[in-house]
Chains A and B, each alone.
Chain A
Amino acid sequence: MARYDRAITVFSPDGHLFQVEYALEAVRKGNAAVGVRGTDIVVLGVEKKSAAKLQDSRSVRKIVSLDDHVALACAGLKADARVLINRARIECQSHRLTVEDPVTVEYITRYIAGLQQKYTQSGGVRPFGLSTLIIGFDPYTDVPSLYHTDPSGTFSAWKANATGRNSNSMREYLEKNYKETSGQETVKLAIRALLEVVESGGKNIEVAVMTKVHGLRQLEEAEIDAIVAEIEAEKAAAEAAKKAPAAPKET
């Protein structure tokens, strides 16, 4: 096996591209990220690893805008992310220049995935070590979208998905608890999924919300703390209800 994992362009005898699989490992070591689609809103949440004391946390933005109506969060090698994001931003403007229309979410996802795939089939390069969650609203519609790409260049649309550290637990949680939601309920679902694997608190998660009307909005720490408090209260109430379902009413 060792002979087949050096160069990206070499298949192993059992049909694996080891460099791509190792890139997926890099993604699995990256920070947790979750995306949830509602009926009129789509939400991205990303784990924020505790910042070094001297680091200016405002310079580390994990959820970025690609255009007014499309945003992206990723898990994996952040330096690779910068390159992909830059190319995607250029493509968004280039598309507007040549066809006088903003990109659809699917178009820009296909572009990013295409870029990731190119780097799995060229000599002398390695794949991008990141998976992305792309959200947005197509122009001229009110329909929100959520897409996921990975280092192999595969992409697909999702109702809710997670990537990065412990993504399997988050995805399991989402599969169990997903239902069509809108507005604040969608935000809560995303944060609840993230809290399954991240230490609770506003300073440990970054959340951004996209609506058709307001575009991308990053939630402030205080807002996130408030929602987390609501979620914990709901959890506590559910626990209490479970413990004493037949408690007699006080007279």
Chain B
Amino acid sequence: MECVFGLVGNDFAVVVADTSAVHSILVHKSNEDKIMILDSHKLIAASGEPGDRVQFTEYIQKNVALYQFRNGIPLTTAAAANFTRGELATALRKNPYSVNILLAGYDKETGPSLYYIDYIATLHKVDKGAFGYGSYFSLSLMDRHYHSGMTVEEAIDLVDKCIMEIRSRLVVAPPNFVIKIVDKDGAKEYAWRESVKDAAVASA
């Protein structure tokens, strides 16, 4: 079951996603990156129908890039979130996308922000959010330990607590997670948390 969660720190936002690509009872791969770098200072963590997830997030990414070329400046995180939500809403009653999204970004003027966008086009600006069965555990832990203005170390500590809880308490817990972070210097991969590595092929 796909797990995505994230939170906002003192001048950064962090998002975490599991990395297993599952089809019925088969695990296709356990290093599928579900957090897309939307532009230099935005991350989009998505979970849901695999085809929709990739199609929809790539579509949003290209439209965000087009905006930047047309207007000479990048979209703000709020604008990107509202655009994403609008696209979900337009498709909702015709040909809906089954994708849940956490959009994290950093704007020079307003600092870090996190947006919760679910598959029926709900939009909330939040300090912490989560999707999937893992959310039952990660939201509870974040409610207990989160405070505003956390440092990177504190935030990653909380992220690791959530990952541990998911691994130990969720019946079909995903083994591996990827952590990405966005701050004034841009969006980048922070770390992977792997408990199952794809075995290297033995040489003949």
Contacts and interface: CB of A to CB of B under 8 A. Distances in A.
Q: Main SS of chain A's interface residues? A: helix
Task: For chain B, give the interface size range.
Answer: under 10
Interface string B44-63: 00000000000000110011
B62 A67 contact: no
Contact of B62 (A61, A65, A86, A93): A93
Interface in A10-43: none
Interface residues of A, number: 12
A89 B70 contact: yes
A66 B69 CA distance: 7
A90 B66 CA distance: 7
A93 B70 contact: no
Contacts of B66: 89-90, 93
A97 B62 contact: yes
B65 interface: yes
A239 to B, nearest CB: 42
A96 interface: yes
Interface in A82-119: 86, 89-90, 92-94, 96-97
Interface string B61-102: 011011001101000000000000000000000000000000
Contacts of A67: 69
Nearest to B70: A89
A66 B65 CA distance: 11
A96 B62 contact: yes
Contacts of B69: 65-67, 89, 92-93
Contacts of B58: 97
A215 to B, nearest CB: 12
Contacts of B65: 93, 96
A94 B63 CA distance: 9
Nearest to A88: B69
Contacts of B59: 97
Contacts of A65: 69
Nearest to A100: B58
Interface in B101-118: none
A19 to B, nearest CB: 29
Contacts of B63: 93
B62 A94 contact: yes
Interface of A: 61, 65-67, 86, 89-90, 92-94, 96-97
Interface of B: 58-59, 62-63, 65-66, 69-70, 72
Given A61-B72, A86-B70, A92-B69, 14 more contacts: A65-B69, A66-B69, A67-B69, A89-B69, A89-B70, A93-B62, A93-B63, A93-B65, A93-B66, A93-B69, A96-B65, A97-B58, A97-B59, A97-B62
